[in-house]
Amino acid sequence: MGAGDLGRWADAWQAIGRAHDETLGLNLDRGVLVLDSFSKLQSLAMGTNR
């Protein structure tokens, strides 16, 4: 995690937390939540989510 990426990591943290709340609140697919969260983290680590 580079210093310049801090904002993007903070956004991802917030987005994953929100997706978690929505998934439980709306009874969405929980397996997809797990896959999507790590997909988001992978994109972030690769720098492809800019």
Partner 1 sequence: MAAADTNARDEEPDRLAGFPAPRETVALYGHGEEKAEFEQALAEGRLHHGWLISGPEGIGKATLAYGLARQVLAHDRPGEDPDDPDGPLFHQVAGRAHPNLLILNRTYNPKTKRYSQWIGVDEVRRLRSFLGGTAAQTGWRVVVVDRADELNAQAANALLKGLEEPPAKTVFLLVAAAEGRLPVTIRSRCRSLRLHPLEDADVERAARQALDAAHAGVDDETLETSIALAEGSVRRALVLSGGEGIALYGEIFDAFRKLPQLDAAWLHKKADTLGAPGNTEQLELFFALLLGLMERLIRARATETSGMIRRSRWPAS
Positions in the binding site for partner 1 (CB under 8 A): 1, 3, 6, 9-10, 12-13, 16-17, 20-21, 24-25, 27, 29-35, 37-38, 41-42, 44-46
Please state, in angstroms and rounded to a whole number, the distance separating the CA atoms of residues 23 and 6. Answer: 26
Q: Which is nearer to partner 1, 46 or 50 (CB)?
A: 46
Please state, in angstroms and rounded to a whole number, the distance separating the CA atoms of residues 5 and 19. Answer: 21
Task: Provide the minimum distance between the beta carbon of 28 and partner 1 in the complex, in angstroms, as a whole number.
Answer: 10
CA distances from 27 to 13, 20, 21, 23, 30 (A): 21, 10, 10, 5, 8
Task: Provide the minimum distance between the beta carbon of 14 and partner 1 in the complex, in angstroms, as a whole number.
Answer: 9
